[in-house]
Chain A
């Protein structure tokens, strides 16, 4: 299979190149950029035949803020705070990705305490991101109640993180060489309370949505993505694992202290939206497990190993580092010319690749299924455009 790279104009011309016979009902529809279920300013050009989707062409650029270019004029500490604004639901993991790249390149060793706290926060973020996704998936499919339940539990978790960090969405907590602040004295107890609170709520989620026949029928066998296509399109995260490819950086190339935690990687079998749904719900349970195991063993130590306003200069060269965010692999590519600012900073963001899986997924299916399939991809648009 070939992946063509062409302009939208060519694509539309190509797609509309069919015969002009009066019998056909092929037409174009714009979905977005202001559509409630595209979760942001994403525009999809759909070629429809009746209600069937023949082509689905994503059009990007409506929320481009040139984060990569701005980063070229900033020191590495400041670069980190811009990553909050890419995938805003995994801001700590984004911060960590840059911090990890800089630390690896500059040879900064961080102590165990920092690694433990980073890992715990990353897993808590993964849970809150999936909580929101779960609620929004229900809302996209026409059920409003799950959204309230998802947000309710996310609020509890957000409060726990807010107590330590001081922010709720754009957290900017991880810095190259450590953390912005030590954990709050209440943190460990509050996380324990949260775990106790959230375990039964996950079963409630199952009662509300998973057992519901309407949801099942709208997700099962909808948006089937084969393992091969997923790999070809570079999909990562739950989208890839839902298609049956058991690839998770946390297991395969452990970073942080994931190698000290015992957890499993949920994997789907068919690759439809239902599998992706299950993978994410199961991931919440596994994340709870990881946090539970690490929480009592946070070693003592400093929370910052590098002085804050010291200039971090990377040796000349190119550096790549990646980690697994809630939506897949976020890669950070830094080209350095010995200054304290990157010469070029590039992000390989998970949502960009996941988005392009939409077309092979949905080709030939109904437009109503497109909503469910797109929701199961869990897209965050600012991460696509950056």
Chain B
């Protein structure tokens, strides 16, 4: 059984050559227990090192403003997340409550883990074009990679800074992002008839339709509307 005690030990081979490394600096090896130090020297240096650490910590009592503790639940009202923060995916709705998603399913195809399911109405009666039916987002499997936001050709998705999304039931993390099923804001405008446009916007609830895992009952959680889904 051997333990190494010498500083110079254990480099068996000469330094190996890996090409021309232009500049390197050798790490300094300051030592308190130097070989030629007297006992009092060692004691003095050891005490000094420990005292210096303690003084560093103590010095923060004198400047409490530099201590950085976030009082999180208390500072909720003033807490500002960065504008690019990826907290929760949302479908952008304009001030009339209309979205711009055509249901092209590009985001669904490029999402790496199938966290987006887009269903569409093949042909809307009024516009004659396909229209979005449901935009289902699975927050429980989403990795917040931001790819869907980037690939959407109509820029209708965004990440918001809302990060407080914990719930008591995992099923509540699968929901619809669109507030209505129907054509995009542009298509509705082209109809030129406000009454007709309003009629195309069928309101969509957050939990509605065939969202996976819905349907079961749990204490304190209302039964989810299963729609035409048959999964339990």
> CB < 8 Å: which of A172, A204, A270 contacts B56?
A204
Q: Is the CB of B32 within 8 A of A267?
A: no
Q: Is the CB of B86 within 8 A of A74?
A: no
Instruction: Confirm or deny: A308 has a beta carbon within 8 angstroms of a beta carbon on chain B.
Output: yes
Could you tell me which residues of chain B, from 42 to 58, have a CB within 8 Å of some CB in chain A? 45-46, 48-50, 52-53, 55-57
- B213 → chain A closest CB, angstroms: 22
Could you tell me which residues of chain B, from 105 to 120, have a CB within 8 Å of some CB in chain A? 106, 110, 112
> CB < 8 Å: which of B22, B57, B145 contacts A81?
B145
- A248 → chain B closest CB, angstroms: 7
> CB < 8 Å: which of A166, A207, A279, A364 contacts B85?
A166
Known: A52-B1, A209-B53, A252-B19. A270 touches B11 (CB 8 A): yes
- B93 → chain A closest CB, angstroms: 21
Tell me which residues across on chain A come within 8 A of B78, comparing CB atoms: none
CA distance A269 to B27 in the complex (A): 7
Q: Is the CB of A270 within 8 A of B85?
A: no
Tell me which residues across on chain A come within 8 A of B16, comparing CB atoms: 227, 231, 245
Size of interface on B: residues with Cβ below 8 Å to A? 57
CA distance A351 to B16 in the complex (A): 22
Query: Which of B9, B23, B112, B144 lies at the interface centre, i.e. has the most chain A CB atoms within 10 A of its CB?
Result: B112
Q: Is the CB of B146 within 8 A of A180?
A: yes
Size of interface on A: residues with Cβ below 8 Å to B? 69
> CB < 8 Å: which of B4, B26, B33, B82 contacts A267?
B26
CA distance A267 to B145 in the complex (A): 37
Q: Is the CB of B29 within 8 A of A221?
A: no
CA distance A170 to B145 in the complex (A): 8
- B112 → chain A closest CB, angstroms: 4
Q: Is the CB of B68 within 8 A of A152?
A: yes
Q: Is the CB of A252 within 8 A of B4?
A: no
CA distance A74 to B145 in the complex (A): 14
Instruction: Confirm or deny: A165 has a beta carbon within 8 angstroms of a beta carbon on chain B.
Output: yes
CA distance A222 to B143 in the complex (A): 41
Q: Is the CB of B146 within 8 A of A212?
A: no
Instruction: Confirm or deny: A224 has a beta carbon within 8 angstroms of a beta carbon on chain B.
Output: yes
- B157 → chain A closest CB, angstroms: 13
- A99 → chain B closest CB, angstroms: 14
20 extra interface residue pairs, beta carbon distance < 8 Å, beyond A152-B68, A227-B12: A78-B147, A162-B82, A164-B84, A204-B56, A207-B55, A213-B32, A216-B49, A217-B33, A220-B33, A224-B4, A226-B12, A227-B11, A244-B15, A245-B16, A264-B25, A265-B21, A265-B23, A269-B27, A272-B4, A309-B106
Which B residues form the contact surface with A (CB < 8 A)? Answer: 1-13, 15-16, 18-19, 21-33, 45-46, 48-50, 52-53, 55-57, 68, 82, 84-86, 106, 110, 112, 143-147, 150-151, 153, 159
Which A residues form the contact surface with B (CB < 8 A)? Answer: 49, 52, 74-75, 77-78, 81-82, 145, 152, 155, 159, 162-167, 170, 172, 180-181, 184, 204, 207-214, 216-217, 220-221, 224, 226-228, 231, 242-248, 251-252, 263-272, 274-275, 278-279, 282, 308-309, 364-365
